[in-house]
Structure 1
Amino acid sequence: MNNKRILYLIIAVVLVGALFVLFLNSGSEEPTAAKRKKVDYSSHDWKVDLSLDNKNPYGLYAFRELTIADGRFTEFNAVSDYNLLDSIVQLDSSMLMFIGMDLMLTDEEIDLVLESIDYGNDFFISAEKIPSYLLDQLMSEKALTYYPNKKAPHKINKKVYDMYYFYENDTLTEIWDLFNPKKLDTLTNVLSTIYGRPNYIEIEYGLGKVFIHLNPLVFTNVQLLKSDGKSYFKEVLLTLEQPKIQWLTFANFEAKPYSDKSTSFENNKSLLSELFKHPAFRWGFILAVFGVLLFLLFRSKRRQPIIPAVEDNKNTGFSYVDTLAGIYYNKEHGDKILKIMRRNFYSAVYDHFYIDLAKREDSKPIIALSKKSNIPTSEIEQLIKYLEVTTKVSDIFLSNTYKIQRSFYLKSGIWNEEIRQKQINSSVSIYRQKERALGTIGLGIFIIVLGFIFLSVSLGVGVLFWPLGIVGIVIGTRMLNTPAIILNPGQIELNPLFGKKVIILHENIKFIEEKGLNSLIYFKNGGKATLNNSQLDQKKIKALDHLKQRFKQT
């Protein structure tokens, strides 16, 4: 091949690559001013992330800035290391503060906080989920209730401020958590109410006070940038007396529900769909295509006809269900989902109890259903009230309605014990981090492409790059497709990258200990196994918490 032909070949390859790049990037150009304005209000900006640095609608950036600017507080310290709790609780004139969806403090940490309050410090909590252990220490009985509505008039110091649940600048029905005033202790001081029921109370504990607010979303950016929200926030600050704020960042945990169905669906995703999501992976694919072209031009030779591989049939049932759910979710048709839930509920009641709730004219069918199912009429009426909501509903409202409906199915016997045990006994697979797996595969592809480039310039050392790249691809594929841990009802399966599978029976475990980023499993025979938590998928690692709590060292 002479120099002129090589030059023509290089020009052709560059043109093909340029056209390929333009094709891949044709849908990712910079948005215009009008499009950019629309992106500012896209759905992902409305995710609830109650962190102090989050400037999106449901962040706490405005809360921190307004609190500091108020001038009543001399210090505002955000503590992200839980090991510093022992030192924080010993400070004087301090207000321990937490705002989040879920207060994740252990019983020992709660005891330390209460001991600090007993000596004169205060504790401000605003969360939807508060540990039962803390409530048991502060109240004689459980007093939590809720009220679903779009509007929530917050009354404080004889002033009323209207609050709404916003999503994409639209008001939706929200479930507002409240206290039952009849179950509160007589010494409890009610500071704020919604529809006459307390949502913000003050409890004296020793020399200090505990302030509990059940609606953390009223302190987010989208609320504080409105006049009623800002005015209500100022009234709340007036109830706080301590000059130093110790913000418990480490106690803020955003729970993400785990679903076995989502795992089955994710395993059916194409690898190329993951590659094209990110520009870096897309460029890795381009380099791989160039490597294949160079191989075909310089080193390939057809030896035998290609025999197509026979693919196994796949169960796409979960994929079909998830696809339909995705269609409803993307188009935000929550009312249609609620309609399907209502229709399924009426059908299940009719098939099981022969009671037609859809055509009821009075309360007689509900009374009959209560007698047959042994469920109070109040619970049945509450479920029907939620299912028959006609206004636009939020995802949180749908989730809570489903929980109540599921509880009815289990209590009434529509779902039998066999189905319950099947859910309990199902296994949980925890994979390694997808980013590391894809990075390893990308590195292997890059090494192979580099070998092709060396061979194209007649450097024989390029042959050595092939096995290294193949090893990287094999390791990355194993990381992506093989679960690192499988949690079964009676045993744990560990699948290391190298070596045989290890099965650990629960009866052989002595205890499990957390040490840094590792989980150490100690056996009754004196041995131990190590789990590196940093290598596991952080979305699924919470499935280990129940096992760690069960075998916690005493």
Structure 2
Amino acid sequence: MNKTFKIYALIFIIILVILALLEVNKKEVTDWRKNFDVNQKSPFGLFIFNGEAKHLFKNNLKKIEQSPFEFYNQHKKEKHNILVVESEIDTESWYRIMDEVSKGSDAMLIVSNIPKEISDSIGYYDSTVSFEEQNVLKLTDKKFQNDFIKLDKFPSGRGFTYIKPNVEVLGKTVEKNNPEQANFIKAKFGKGNFYVHSEPLFITNYYLLKPGNIKYVQDVFSYLDDKETLWFVEGKTSESQFFMRFILSKPALKYAWWVFLGGLLLFIFFNAKRKQRIVPVIEPLKNTSVDFVKSIGNLYLQEGDFHDMMAKKAQYFLNKVRMDLLIDTQHLDEEFSKKLQLKTGKPIEMIHEAIALIKKGQDPYASVMKEDLEKMNKLLDEILK
């Protein structure tokens, strides 16, 4: 295991430990954003309303994922209901809604703010009329006097500051320190009607889960006639097409993905440095002396000149004795034998036999056989070990 791999492994383990500690100590954080998203289960999402809407409208509800402008350019509808819940709608689409209402349709607008020119055409002005932390929504009709909703979390405080004479007030906001303010109105427009509610919080998850609040919601929508209702939810129900949406939607997979990216970045960072160029392999020079000696030896063997080879082997041996053992080789007598025996530790008989063969090799008139050469070569090599 090299040093670089150990560094990567250590960094990776440290990151995993940190993420584990963060996960263990993580506190659940509530998302209080007013997203009004039909897919969100956060307090101010519309997940519950989306699930109950079909029953509320007696299975006569159709969700439209186009803008009103695009939809009405492609479809011609008889009298119907229009539902808009806190959506960003372009001005041309508002005018198409007004055109449909003028022909006899009814529109329920549950919005905190729409373009001023549209609200002015309908017959009211809206603005923030209160900054109280709590208020109560109630309806003006006596048959609904026992149905109300208490807003105790982030009410918008929106209301209608000016209402034209032809506009009917259907609901109000009640506060302790402020006079009652209209928040739900009905405005006659051509052959149809606009129903505008300025506080969309009352249909969010947080308030629908509280006991008794569903009755207020049913009362509000009871003003619409029993006919087909088109709910324009452009940008709310369309699922994200991002290829990582599933991984990022699961906490465990999301953490794994970020750890993978972090490890990849660390790997790229540490490997971005320029590495040493590969050192080429240089073949060592061949020892041609050995090949030369082998060639000469083969030549002598082919010629069969064993006497000359013994003489040269004897000469080489005596030279080694003089240089390495510092023994005089001028006289190969008994004194020479004893000195050689003392310095090499070999048996005296072996030394005597070797000296006899050396002398035989030095004698130009001696008869030498191949066996003599082999025996002398073996003895001399053994003595010099």
Is this contact kept in 1: 2:202–2:208, CA < 8 A? yes
State the shift of 1:61 in Å.
Answer: 1.1
Distance in 2 between residues matched to 1:165 and 1:143, nearest whole Å: 22
Is this contact kept in 2: 1:104–1:251, CA < 8 A? no
1:79 alignment partner, one of 65, 71, 92:
65
Distance in 2 between residues matched to 1:57 and 1:47, nearest whole Å: 8
**Residues 135-534 of structure 1 correspond to what in structure 2 (within 5 A)?**
135-139=119-123, 142=125, 144-156=127-139, 157-166=144-153, 174-180=155-161, 183-195=162-174, 196-250=180-234, 278-292=258-272, 295-296=274-275, 298-299=276-277
Is this contact kept in 2: 1:190–1:200, CA < 8 A? yes
Is this contact kept in 1: 2:65–2:235, CA < 8 A? no
Is this contact kept in 2: 1:88–1:246, CA < 8 A? no
Distance in 1 between residues matched to 2:156 and 2:15, nearest whole Å: 44
SS at match of 2:18: coil
Is this contact kept in 1: 2:68–2:93, CA < 8 A? no
State the shift of 1:55 in Å.
Answer: 1.6
Residue 261 of structure 1 corresponds to none
Is this contact kept in 1: 2:128–2:156, CA < 8 A? no
Structure 2 gaps of 5+ residues are: 175-179, 237-256, 280-385
What TM-score results when the alignment is normalised by the length of structure 1?
Answer: 0.41
Residue 16 of structure 2 corresponds to 25
Runs of 4+ in 1 over 4 A off after TM superposition: none
State the shift of 1:280 in Å.
Answer: 4.8
Is this contact kept in 1: 2:8–2:267, CA < 8 A? no
TM-aligned CA distance change 1:288 to 1:126, over 3 Å: same
Is this contact kept in 2: 1:98–1:124, CA < 8 A? yes
TM-aligned CA distance change 1:290 to 1:144, over 3 Å: closer
State the shift of 1:242 in Å.
Answer: 4.4
Is this contact kept in 1: 2:169–2:184, CA < 8 A? yes
Is this contact kept in 2: 1:79–1:246, CA < 8 A? no
1:132 alignment partner, one of 95, 110, 116:
116
Distance in 2 between residues matched to 1:192 and 1:158, nearest whole Å: 10
Residue 51 of structure 2 corresponds to 65
What TM-score results when the alignment is normalised by the length of structure 2?
Answer: 0.58
**AA in 2 matched with 1:142:** Y
Is this contact kept in 2: 1:146–1:176, CA < 8 A? yes
**AA in 2 matched with 1:286:** L
Higher relative contact order (CA 8 A, sep 6+): 2
TM-aligned CA distance change 1:49 to 1:118, over 3 Å: same
State the shift of 1:78 in Å.
Answer: 2.8
Distance in 2 between residues matched to 1:224 and 1:112, nearest whole Å: 31
Structure 1 gaps of 5+ residues are: 1-7, 167-171, 253-276, 300-454, 457-554
SS at match of 1:198: strand
Q: Which entry has the higher C-alpha Rg, 1 or 2? A: 2
Distance in 1 between residues matched to 2:272 and 2:195, nearest whole Å: 65
Deviations 1:73-93 (A, max 9, x none): 413223235663324773124
SS at match of 1:29: helix
Deviations 1:499-534 (A, max 9, x none): xxxxxxxxxxxxxxxxxxxxxxxxxxxxxxxxxxxx
Deviations 1:215-247 (A, max 9, x none): 112211111111243222121121222432222
Count of aligned pairs: 251
TM-aligned CA distance change 1:230 to 1:245, over 3 Å: same
Distance in 1 between residues matched to 2:77 and 2:137, nearest whole Å: 33
Identity of aligned residues (%): 16
Residue 104 of structure 1 corresponds to 89
Distance in 2 between residues matched to 1:184 and 1:96, nearest whole Å: 22
TM-aligned CA distance change 1:245 to 1:288, over 3 Å: same
Distance in 2 between residues matched to 1:148 and 1:89, nearest whole Å: 43
TM-aligned CA distance change 1:118 to 1:73, over 3 Å: farther
Deviations 1:301-339 (A, max 9, x none): xxxxxxxxxxxxxxxxxxxxxxxxxxxxxxxxxxxxxxx
Residue 517 of structure 1 corresponds to none
Distance in 1 between residues matched to 2:260 and 2:84, nearest whole Å: 38
SS at match of 2:131: strand
Distance in 2 between residues matched to 1:244 and 1:64, nearest whole Å: 16
1:94 alignment partner, one of 55, 80, 83:
80
SS at match of 1:150: coil
SS at match of 1:66: helix
SS at match of 1:211: strand
**AA in 1 matched with 2:159:** L
**AA in 2 matched with 1:158:** Q
Is this contact kept in 2: 1:203–1:209, CA < 8 A? yes
SS at match of 2:218: helix
Residue 345 of structure 2 corresponds to none
**AA in 2 matched with 1:129:** N
Residue 267 of structure 1 corresponds to none
State the shift of 1:35 in Å.
Answer: 5.6
Residue 33 of structure 2 corresponds to 47
TM-aligned CA distance change 1:50 to 1:154, over 3 Å: same
Distance in 1 between residues matched to 2:21 and 2:205, nearest whole Å: 28
Residue 14 of structure 1 corresponds to 5
RMSD of aligned residue pairs (Cα, Å): 3.0
Distance in 2 between residues matched to 1:25 and 1:19, nearest whole Å: 10
